Amino acid sequence: MATKLWDKGFDTSALVEDYTVGNDQELDLRLARYDVEGSLAHIRMLESIGLLTAEELPVLVEGLEQIAREIEAGEFEIEPTSEDIHSQVELLLTRRLGDVGKKIHSGRSRNDQVLVDLKLFLRDELKQLAEEVRTLFDRLQALSEQHKEVLMPGYTHLQVAMPSSFGLWFGAYAETLIDDMRLIVAAWQIANQNPLGSAAGYGSSFPLNRTMTTELLGFETLHYNVVAAQMSRGKSERAAANAMAAVAATVGRMAMDLCLFMSQNFGFVKLPDTLTTGSSIMPHKKNPDVFEIMRGRCNRLQALPNEMALLLTNLPVGYHREMQLLKDILFPATTELKKTLRMADFMLSNLTVNEQILEDSKYDYLFTVEDVNRLALEGLPFREAYRQVGMQVQRGEYKPTREVHHTHEGSIGNLCTAEIKAKMERVMREME
């Protein structure tokens, strides 16, 4: 039977242990490779300050690298008697190497171990999320250029308003993702700080070399103040959650648009029959279930920051056990959002655009502003031009010219696709 890292000779009630540990063992499997990575850096530092001998270090390195290979091969598991990933790694080393395996915990606490694991995890997950967002961004930009000449109605208050275009619509969601990317980058930078050596939150009397572990783990900088390092538990996760919620808000809004655009009342876009679902009693139905599920998933993901905020509200300085529950909130969400982004890219790649939308007379009034502006450009005061076109509408005499002349930056006739792409690339370079 495994000995707990905090063992002091008494057993905890099985009921208490089951309630406090929960599904932490399952969640910790996602941290396994990062726990080994952090331990490898830590023991190299311990050898440099004399807490491990030159002979012990390579033995421990090989032991940890063997565990890393088992993790990579899917052969690693956390035994029921181990509380968490940290306990399991130390158990395996001690079982295989003897007492030298017990030396890896010198100068650290499970508190800074999990902090390191989470920051390495978040750093990777946010990088992957950024890549998925960039893929969707590229798809939207390509569709924007492909359909830049195809006009569609623009709406305010869900009322027909002014001419828009599919180039403008696809391009809008592309550029909006850049703002979301800024939040991803900010969350990544918050995660990219080394907390190792903060121990339980108040440092260690061992002469630890925290700069060395920062360099070994590839962190940009240290969490210098050890209490601040401990306080970053929850803050890093909330920053990631806010970034994820922002991406979800953008994708969810796009999914809502597409649900509307696919309905017969709009008829702006369509999907192949194989990517829709039917009705059990209405044989004509072709439902946009993917976009509806996408909308629902994205709405749920937008609750992440609130859920975390409520979990962490009013906690005083220091570690508290409910912080463990952050993993239960965050880990499934990262998987769900990446899956949703991949599905959004796939569905957009199969979307067909209706190029004859504005031939329907119900969209005639889209062009009133165009005609008011045309009269103003011909010399008529704007308010008089507005009155004349308004009276034509009131009398049922309005006949649109159906001409659109938009040339300024970011308009129908000047999408600035290249400039928007350059903006995205500038933001993403901050993660290099």
Question: What does the pLDDT look like over 104-159, one tens digit per residue?
Answer: 999 999 899 999 999 999 999 999 999 999 999 999 999 999 999 999 999 999 99
Mean pLDDT, residues 410-414 taken together: 93
Is 327 in the same domain as 192? yes
Is 259 in the same domain as 336? yes
pLDDT digits (tens, 9 = 90+) for 310-359: 999 988 998 888 888 999 999 999 999 999 999 999 999 999 999 999 98
Asked if residue 5 has pLDDT above 60, the reply is: no
Q: Which tokens in the block code for residue 265? A: 């009342």
Is 382 in the same domain as 323? no
Mean pLDDT, residues 50-67 taken together: 97
First to last CA, the chain: 45
Helix 226-262 crosses helix 110-146 at what angle (to 10 degrees)?
Answer: 30
Asked if residue 360 has pLDDT above 60, the reply is: yes
- Percent of the chain whose predicted confidence (pLDDT) is above 70: 94
Amino acid (1-letter code) at residue 119: K
Mean pLDDT, residues 252-272 taken together: 95
Residue whose pair of structure tokens reads 């067909």 in the numeric block: 352
Nearest to 132 by CA among 177, 173, 183, 166: 177
Contact between residue 401 and residue 414 where contact means Cβ atoms under 8 Å apart: no
When mean pLDDT is compared across 288-297, 366-375, 408-417, the lowest value belongs to 366-375
Mean pLDDT, residues 47-61 taken together: 97
Phi, psi at 151, each rounded to 5°: -80, 150
Decide the pairing of beta strands 151-156 and 221-222.
Answer: unpaired
**Helix or strand or coil: residue 4?**
coil
Asked if residue 284 has pLDDT above 80, the reply is: no
Q: Which tokens in the block code for residue 210? A: 């925290």
Mean pLDDT, residues 371-379 taken together: 89
Please state, rounded to an integer, the average pLDDT across all residues of the chain: 92
**Helix or strand or coil: residue 113?**
helix
Which residues lie closer than 8 Å to 346 by C-beta, 6 or more apart? none
Cα distances (angstroms) measured from residue 219 to each of 95, 122, 137, 187, 215: 31, 12, 28, 14, 6
C-alpha 203/C-alpha 198 separation (Å) is: 4
Q: What is the pLDDT of residue 17?
A: 66
251-262 in b/e burial notation, b at 16+ Cβ within 10 A?
bbebbbbbbebb
Active site residues: 157, 279
Domain of residue 83: give its range. 14-106
Tell me which of 85, 106, 127 is where a domain ends. Answer: 106
Mean pLDDT, residues 388-394 taken together: 91
Q: What is the pLDDT of residue 402?
A: 84
Contact between residue 108 and residue 199 where contact means Cβ atoms under 8 Å apart: yes
Q: How confident is the model at residue 11 (pLDDT cuts 50, 70, 90)?
A: low
Is 189 in the same domain as 63? no
When mean pLDDT is compared across 110-119, 286-295, 342-351, 397-406, the lowest value belongs to 397-406
Is 288 in the same domain as 264? yes
Is 180 in the same domain as 315? yes
Q: Is residue 256 part of a domain?
A: yes
Q: What is the pLDDT of residue 26?
A: 79
Which helix (H) or strand (E) element contains residue 163?
strand 159-165
Asked if residue 54 has pLDDT above 70, the reply is: yes
Q: Which tokens in the block code for residue 164? A: 């828009």
Q: Is residue 5 part of a domain?
A: no
Q: Is residue 376 part of a domain?
A: yes
Asked if residue 6 has pLDDT above 50, the reply is: no
What is this structure's pTM?
0.91
Query: Where are the strands (E) in 111-265, listed by range?
Result: 151-156, 159-165, 193-194, 221-222
Contact between residue 158 and residue 261 where contact means Cβ atoms under 8 Å apart: no
Mean pLDDT, residues 180-195 taken together: 98
Q: What is the pLDDT of residue 432?
A: 86
Asked if residue 3 has pLDDT above 60, the reply is: no
Cα distances (angstroms) measured from residue 320 to each of 85, 229, 317, 329: 18, 14, 9, 16
Q: What is the pLDDT of residue 100?
A: 95
Tell me which of 106, 141, 176 is where a domain ends. Answer: 106
Q: Is residue 6 part of a domain?
A: no
Helix 417-428 crosses helix 166-191 at what angle (to 10 degrees)?
Answer: 10
Q: What is the pLDDT of residue 24?
A: 72
C-alpha 221/C-alpha 197 separation (Å) is: 13
The total number of structural domains that make up the chain? 3
When mean pLDDT is compared across 166-175, 189-198, 221-230, 273-282, the lowest value belongs to 273-282
Amino acid (1-letter code) at residue 389: V
Q: Which tokens in the block code for residue 206? A: 């061992």
